Homo-oligomer: A and B are copies of this chain.
């Protein structure tokens, strides 16, 4: 029996950004699917409605695979094993990059299920392109620690590693800590180190600025509650 395919579906980074984020061909693929593994059901149903999914919402099969809502992994694969295609969705951006979806993909490989990643938005790649920093060597750290002392240490480690290896350092922070982290960046890093802040990517609120710490100090942005990503670069 032929197995189904697992489509990896990136989702928009903000409101009203579907038309910018997905190609016509990929929208057609998503519209034709009827079963999904998602990080959060409510978020994904809204996205699928906006995409114009063909099957009525009541007939969609939606399995949650989030931080707190995991069934045993084999239970997600019965449809795929029987030959039905499924889509894997994250809440925003690319599934498997900063969400639990990578476990599903790993299991798909073990079962010889074909995995097809679709082109879509990633705040990591968009911000790296737009930073003007080194894109030949870069390190994504995910979230940084919450403890104040550990955060400062982490920022300084990133700065040192960037200088030593000519490497761009990238991390994310939850939107409600944007004001705090921007303050910490300018307090912790050297004046000549370059920092790029990118927020609200692909949305009407898009903000991207890349400059030295000494220039940020004169003009701290207000990015309250807007999803943001941070890049540090200090050429060796």
Contact = CB atoms under 8 A, between A and B. Distances in A.
A201 interface: yes
Nearest to A202: B119
A134 B210 CA distance: 28
Contacts of A120: 119
A141 B134 CA distance: 11
Number of copies of this chain in the oligomer?
2
A105 B117 contact: no
Interface stretch (A19-27, A62-70, A152-160, A175-183): A19-27
Interface string A101-130: 011111111000001111111101111111
Given A97-B125, A122-B122, A135-B98, A106 B210 contact: yes
A211 B107 CA distance: 11
Contacts of A52: none
A140 B142 contact: no
Given A23-B24, A139-B139, A130 B117 contact: yes
B8 A117 contact: no
18 contacts: A10-B129, A19-B23, A20-B23, A20-B118, A23-B23, A94-B135, A95-B129, A96-B129, A97-B135, A102-B133, A104-B132, A105-B129, A105-B132, A106-B210, A109-B211, A117-B129, A124-B125, A136-B143
